[in-house]
Structure 1
Amino acid sequence: MILSWIYKMMIEDKYDLIFIRAYLIIGFIFFTCTLFGQDQVKADSLIFILETEELSDSLKLEVLSEVFKHHNDPEMRLFYAVMASELAENIGNQVFLYKSKLNIGHAYRKMGLLDKALDALLQSLQIAEKLMDKKREAVAFTAIGSVYRVENNYREALKYYNLGIKKFRETNDSIKLATGLLNTGELYRIDYKFDSALIYFQESLEIFKQKNYDIGIAYNLGNIGLIYAERGKNNLAEKNISEAVIVLEELGDTYAVSIYDTYMADIYKDKGDYQRALEYANRSHKEAVKGGFKEQVRDASLKLSELYSDLKDYEKAFNFQSQYIAYRDSINNEETIRKMADLRTEYEVSQKQAEVDLLNEQKRNQQIIGVGLTLVILLVAALALMFYKNSKQRQQTNQILSEQKEEIEAQRDQLDELNQSKDKFFSIISHDLRGPVHAFKGMSRLIKMYIDQNCIDELAELNQHFDKSVDQLSTLLDDLLDWAVSQQGKVPYSPEEVSLHDLSEDVMGLFHNMAQAKKINLTTNIPQDIQLWVDSNSLRTILRNLVNNALKFTEEGGSVTLSAEKDGDMAALHVSDTGRGISQEQLQSLFKLGGHKRSWGTEGEKGLGLGLQLVYSFSEMNGGSITVESEEGEGTTFTIHMPLHKIAPTPEMMNS
């Protein structure tokens, strides 16, 4: 039908040949485009038309829209989407402005610029809301959810994915509904909720099979394969992923292939075939770098670092680990997270303001109606009744406005509280890093001393301690950063059974070099049978702070001891030192917030008093308590009481 119309236009000379050529290409694309993949050949053909032919603004927008839809390169996709956005805004075409903003957001997401991606996608959502187009709203919701997924903010991602699914169900758009279900299932998968993920994948797969969408089927097969990989079913995982990759390679979807290659590397690693594992990991890394996919460059770099580390090629492992950290920090840095939070806040506040404006408009309309009714009532001698009704309406409207104002103020207070919690987390991270750094300071002194004394054997031994300290510091950094990012500004409390002996050994290992540098006797006396019911992260923070302080304020030749014993249904942990002690005046305000608590250790180590405040706060959070005994010049002993893990009695125990 379209071809016959074009032919008719050619015969009647009503359209220029250039326009007809462009519409032919666009018509071809509409009939052959797929749900996910891009087609670079189509994009290149349309770019040639843009560069060589004179097109009207409306036709140019059609061509640009197809270019950035099918281009494989995120940067070029961004370039043409921005061009289309500017043109659509100039001529006031809201539909193409929506499409342009949506694709700008997609491009920025693949480039790892999450704050810019979120800004563009929120603009596309606002345009869709103005157009009152539920289908476009659903697409924007899903795209926003994908940005939060990359940021690892699963709560917000799930919120927007479900909003999108709800809209798609209302519009009966089965293909886009299946896409939304696929994205939501993937979110549950990366959050290790595999049963929920499979439910969404199966529903999505059934829809795609009914519509014969091979690309959608491929994505579902690949993602189900990823679940098999997570559950250790490597043969099933490899089968599903291989089938998916065959389809995706034919469609030129290098982004998805790069992701699946990373998991194939894991599968062959588990099989012990490191050569095949490296082939897949290197291909994933190469395609991600070529395509500018920052998120996947990050994941592929981490996988290569792990593989080379297992193969003892530490130089390559270190290089890829450095690349992983650089890409990870560029995607999830503090400034990006703050900007995204600000954008979300602005959007939500603007939504509330729109509601308030609507109420104000309704109020003005009611007032106009009231005036008209008053005139009518004056004609029928019912002025008094009209005044009464009008007064009641105003009271109701004012009450609604007051409730809306209170709701906005409550949200503002909640945001302030979240910001304060975020600041507290950054303080925790900064403080906990100081202990391991002091350990490196101690090793630095030992290195200098051994070099002066030409003690080469001791240097070799110190190298082992240095590697161990690096591993421990890296673990600490990862734990703290993951903790801060995943908890959204809230101090987490996840109690579990913890072996005090094993945990204390890990913590004391951090301070071995620091104690050796100061010639301090560092000892541990923890019975093997003490099992606690505590949050392990906060207990590590408590012990690190107390041991670090003990070493800091103990002179050379002194001693620091960590010991424990059971005390009823609690365990008493003691951190004792032979240091300078604490004055009675300082003991009075030792755990209180505020004031000036800056102090210096025996070798000038600086302290700000935050550590003991954290110790006090985390002790109470775990249902415990802390006390201190000290005498100036004689040393200090901190005692922490923590709840023991209560073991439920077995039938054998009850019968004995």
Structure 2
Amino acid sequence: MMKVMLIILCLLLIKGLEYSFALNTIRVDSLEQIISSLPEKNKARKLIDMAGLCLYSLPQKSIYLSQKAYELATKRNNKIDKIEALRTIGVAFFIQDKYEEALKYYLKSLKISKQVKDENQVAVNLMNIGTLYSAWKKYPVALKYYEDGLEILKKNNENKGLTKVYNNIGMIYLICDKYNDALMSFTNSLKISTMLKDSLGIAHTLDNIGIVYSKKGNYTLALQTMEKALLISERSSDNQGTALTMNDIGEVYMKKKMYEKALFYFEKSLIILKKINDKNAMKICYENMLKVNFASNGNDKFHDYFKSFIAVSDSLSLEENSKQLAELQVKYETEKKDDEINILSKEQKIQTLEISKQKNFRNYLIISVFLVTILVFVIYSRFLIKKRSETTLQKMNQTKNKFFSIISHDLRGPINALFTITDQMTKRFEELSKEEILTSSQKLLKSTENISILLENLLQWSLSQTDRLDFKPAKYNLHDIVVKQISLRITTEKKINILCHISPDVFVFTDVNVLKTVLRNLLNNACKFSYPGGTVEIFAENKDRFYEVQIVDAGIGIKPEDIIKLFRLDVKHSTIGTANENGTGLGLILCKELLEKNGEKIWVESVIGNGSIFKFTLKKNDIC
């Protein structure tokens, strides 16, 4: 599924498939004769080229040739040839999953690269080491080497290399479930591939971006992106890219439980994979088709899929056995152990006969294990569904209780206040002075504002709870929106001074309605707990990938034990303001829900007697 570029900036010149095949069949003693016949001046370089031709098919033979090249390069003090010979040995060990040995040769190659101050060679070695640590699942170390190499490639405008490195970094973030970081890396790769008009690179990166959206649960965007990748791959006649993207699209439809469409794409992918004989991808495709068949309760093709899956698996196992035998053959030829080769050859023949005899028994055993696994899976799934239903029901009860609490108590208070004021003004209108009328009108206005805010919060919260809130993030000027929200506030007898310190050139990528709701509630909260004549200040601190918005007041502050209650739906918490203002506690809960659904976060820092700082994040427009 994930098409990771494991070895970047290939080391070697390919002379042709015919020459490569011929080299793979040459014995070690014959290689010695070829080496001795090569011109002395370019002998090391020719050996490195020969090592590259058999690097993937016979890595042990590649190591033997590279070691000879290193000896010759050392004699002639040719450091570039030494760098590439050591790196080729490292790649050969890496292909065999011998990571410690590979790392040893990579580091030697890197050391010489730095000594001769060859930045291109340094970058290649850094990328190879990053790839090794990634395969080793040591992702923080891998990222360190990738980022060091990235700086060199940026400096030298090596755009082709940059696209591959950004993709590799994106894959690490994807594996580590850091989807926003992965999306940013893939987006950087896509920009460069687009600039280079690299169709294959564009298609490859779009498919990776689609995988990120799929992981995030945004299947619509995942399918749109993958379909773009598929169209480009088909136009570029990239059969492998086309097949793998079709498989990825099928997996998205499988997640959406649209099994007919999923099966359609898996079958189309399989047709191409059979043509190009990509058995590893075929195995994955058959496995997905089995999953679809099981999930959709189909049984008409289950036996055919399972039989094909077993056949491909057997074929891969035999090819791997043959490759391992060829590798051992080269190793023992080098060490003069022909007798052991004969033993291995006999063991392979015996193994082939044993496979033939035991095939039926093994198939029955696999089917039995598979059926038991299905049974366990069904039982466990039902348990999870029941547990999830209980959790959902509990949350719904909390939501219902909170709603009725607001309706029965918090909403009734402001409405009663409104009724009392209007009643008094009506009955005593002739007796009231202008000052008393003005005071009553101000109270009436404030009470109406409180009801309006509460009703708006209830509406937003109910839409959020039922997933009917339509998020439409776009580019907005943060300064303008904050100033507008300040101007909309109604002046009260507390006469709070609100100051905006945000630069006019700050742009964010967010949903404007979410931002307005959050600002309205946080400003209302800050004024509520500020002393009369106090000041509320608003800042936006520039972080690496986002802005941190801060709303600062010098009010009464919050106790540490109360801070943990602020954003919780299951805890009833509301504090009287400095002018005896009441509250529901719903505003902060709503802020947290809206920001988190928009991919942001909110928190508070406070000291009793010194005020509070409510902070929340907003994405920068330039990385979205």
Instruction: Give the TM-score category using the shorter length.
Output: 0.3 to 0.5
TM-score under structure 2 normalisation? 0.43
Higher helix share: 1
| TM-score, structure 1 normalization | 0.41
Who wins on radius of gyration, i.e. which is larger?
2
